[in-house]
Amino acid sequence: MKSLNELIGRYPVLACCRQDMETVFRDLMGVFSSGGKVLVCGNGGSAADADHWSAELLKAFVKKRPLPEADVERLGPALSGNLQRGLPCIPLAGFVALNSAYANDCDAEYAYAQLTYALGSPSDALIGISTSGNARNVCHALSVARAMGMNTIGLSGQSGGAMKPLCDVCICVPCTETYLVQELHLPVYHTLSIMLEESLC
């Protein structure tokens, strides 16, 4: 895996994450190849990372993503010439009305869990991002996803925290300080995005 080798060449500290990154890549390949989608959630900077990662999947990242010929014919040259192939990924923090309503009417801690229950299916995956691994709302969403038969993936700091046992695989970068964990999360999900784009788009 060229992109993964290049990542570890730039960030040798991430060598310990190689096996888990390979597993996440294979799992996401399976989800997208079978027509499933990915839900992704986090808080604060991790919510921004969830939104950022979604953007890299939903449109072209490092290579062009021309539409399949059948879609070009259906859409015509004007539309198809301005669209790119995307991998379906939904950042759960972006549901402003639902999240604010749940905080007001129910319990904000369960908003991501509600969205996972409403939007997820067994063919999908949920990615939870938490620098400590202990974000309660992310853990609730992972619990719902696991109960529904979804693939559960974590991106966390060194210990993996409470979310680690809720995940089929958890990429735990070898740092504990929040900002340092976040600095390593970005190259991890950028590399996974490149790998998926090269394989599927």
Q: Count of H helices and E strands in the chain?
A: 8, 5
Residue 123 confidence (pLDDT) above 90 = yes
Average pLDDT over residues 42-59: 98
Domain made up of 2-200: CATH architecture: 3-Layer(aba) Sandwich (3.40)
Average pLDDT over residues 158-183: 98
| CA terminus-to-terminus distance, the chain | 17
> What is the C-alpha separation between 109 and 140, in angstroms, rounded?
8
Average pLDDT over residues 61-71: 95
Domain range annotation of the chain: 2-200
| Residues 6 or more apart whose Cβ sits within 8 Å of residue 83 | 67, 75
> What is the C-alpha separation between 128 and 190, in angstroms, rounded?
16
> What is the C-alpha separation between 155 and 42, in angstroms, rounded?
10
Average pLDDT over residues 185-192: 98
- pLDDT for the residue 167: 98
- pLDDT for the residue 1: 81
Average pLDDT over residues 97-120: 97
Count of Cβ atoms closer than 10 Å to residue 180 Cβ = 16
Segment holding 91, helix H or strand E: strand 89-91
